[in-house]
Amino acid sequence: MKTSKLAELQLFLDEKVDKYNRPGFIENDPISIPHSFSKKQDVEIAGFLAAVLAWGQRITVINKARQFLLCMENDPHNFLMHHTENDLKPFAKFKHRTFNGIDALYFIKSLSTFYKHHQSLEEAFTVPQQSANVEQGLINFHALFFSLDYPLRTLKHVSSPARKSACKRINMYLRWMVRSHATGVDFGLWKSISPAQLVCPLDVHVERVARKLKLIKRTQADWQTAVELTNNLKKFDALDPVKYDFALFGLGVEEKF
């Protein structure tokens, strides 16, 4: 793409970032779920669960995430630390798409085990400072999350670059936790990962718009394609490429670009 075309595209995308990276974005997006909490651990637990459940229409995702957190008495960190076997009964009936009670119970088990030894879920995503992106952090997290005796069916609910997945939901979650901005949409809670290391969440809307704008050439929708998109976005902002997720998603969902 010629320099003049790049500059023109950057101006267009910057305008869309400014339009969508605003507090008004929160209400109708799954990010509203962690915004319901103030305690750091509650924010990151609620955010993780909302991101994992982020399949389908946003309103359905929000309602299902609220249902899951209601089973945790809307006190997720305290629930993970102190729940009894009897407290787990409501999760047996939980269902969203292919995520069911078996998966829910393993998520509670894995997260509970982790928080009994660590202060923050940030510690599960160890990314070397010299790494170009968060790939190794996602691989590390996947290995840690499934380090207990897990149901095979639950593996599909947490993606890993090691399995060639684009990891769109985990990348979205990391955007929430790592990016910081004056508008307060993303939280900026985690400091060990740089916004420059984030990879753009490649959902169907972002992928479609990115292809129309010639930001993707690969035909697959896998990890390498997500990295390709991110590397092209770094031409516009090397320090915060994933801010353009707001632009691409807004163009795809709100403007049907």
pLDDT in tens, 109-148: 999 999 999 999 999 999 998 999 999 999 999 999 999 9
Share of the chain above pLDDT 70, in %: 100
Helix axes of 40-52 and 101-115: crossing angle, nearest 10 degrees: 150
Whether 1 shows a pLDDT value over 90: the answer reads no
Average pLDDT for residues 201-218, to the nearest whole number? 97
Give the model confidence (pLDDT) of 47-91 as tens digits: 999 999 999 999 999 999 999 999 999 999 999 999 999 999 999
Whether 40 shows a pLDDT value over 90: the answer reads yes
Least confident piece of the model among 1-10, 103-112, 154-163, 224-233: 1-10
Angle, alpha carbons 190-30-176 (nearest 5°): 15
* pLDDT band, very low/low/confident/very high, at 256 (cuts 50, 70, 90): confident
In this prediction, residue 42 carries a pLDDT of 98
Contact call for residues 40 and 189 (beta carbons, < 8 A): yes
**CA-CA-CA-CA dihedral for 33, 38, 39, 40, to nearest 10:** 70
Tokens 């407290």, residue located? 87
Residues 6+ apart with CB under 8 A from 76: 37, 41, 42, 45, 46, 49, 69
* pLDDT band, very low/low/confident/very high, at 4 (cuts 50, 70, 90): confident
Least confident piece of the model among 4-8, 114-118, 148-152: 4-8
Phi, psi of 113 (to 5 degrees): -60, -45
Q: How many CB atoms lie within 10 A of CB 93?
A: 11
Average pLDDT for residues 202-225, to the nearest whole number? 97
